[in-house]
């Protein structure tokens, strides 16, 4: 999602190389049963790596990716930050077509892509918007509401010993992320939280 303009090769990464290394390492712990999900795929950088990982090691598991493909939704009061006023509504815009073309260019299968803001997804028992069981979930929604909603969507479907990773947990520009994670964890008994770089790693 590129701030209302086309993707350019020199745009900065949203997820650092170190964070990417951590994400892929933890994803490997989730091989076997259950699908992989990414909420907030942006240009698909992490999605491409996760799909390649599955195709090479666990083709029976599928990747599902979610994005509004309309840029960020408006901030809530929980997202107010003294660190700046970036990440406004409509920023980080990339189209679904652009992401699909990147998968085609990479020679990878197209994942199961769902377009829409997260609160528009059907979370019912017969839902076709979400996998039946989830082994690994990477949440990169940037804002309080997006993280809170995506946590509530994936949690009931997470397998035992599954892993949820939330990006920007300790990013001062995005304080709503940590608040959403902390509020969610406060209602749970068993999950454990560790933090590496800006990643909140929740092991169930």
Structural domains in the chain, CATH included, are 29-203 (3.40.50.150)
Residues 143-156: what's their mean pLDDT? 96
Q: Is the pLDDT of residue 3 over 60?
A: no
| Alpha helix segments (H runs only) across 67-111 | 96-106
**Using one digit for the tens of pLDDT, what is the confidence trace for 155-194?**
999 999 999 999 999 999 999 999 999 999 998 877 789 9
Give me the sheet containing 199-203, strands edge to edge.
Answer: 112-115, 63-67, 35-39, 134-139, 158-166, 199-203, 192-196
């Amino acid at each position: 999602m590129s701030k209302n303009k086309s993707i350019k090769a020199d745009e900065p990464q949203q997820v650092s190389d170190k964070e990417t290394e951590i994400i892929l390492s933890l994803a490997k712990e989730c091989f076997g049963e259950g699908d992989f999900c990414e909420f907030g795929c942006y240009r698909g950088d992490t999605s491409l790596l996760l799909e390649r990982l599955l195709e090479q090691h666990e083709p029976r598991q599928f990747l599902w990716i979610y994005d509004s493909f309309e840029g960020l939704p408006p901030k809530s009061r929980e997202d107010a930050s003294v660190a700046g006023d970036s990440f406004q509504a409509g920023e980080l815009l990339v189209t679904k077509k652009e992401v699909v073309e990147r998968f085609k260019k990479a020679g990878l299968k197209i994942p199961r892509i769902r377009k829409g803001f997260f609160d528009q997804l059907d979370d019912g028992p017969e839902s076709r918007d979400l996998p039946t069981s989830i082994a690994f979930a990477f949440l990169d929604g940037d804002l309080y509401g997006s993280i809170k909603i995506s946590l509530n969507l994936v949690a009931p479907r997470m397998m035992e010993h599954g892993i949820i990773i939330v990006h920007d947990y300790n990013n001062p520009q995005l304080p709503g992320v940590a608040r959403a994670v902390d509020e969610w964890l406060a209602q749970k008994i068993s999950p454990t939280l560790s933090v590496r770089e800006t990643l909140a790693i929740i092991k169930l």
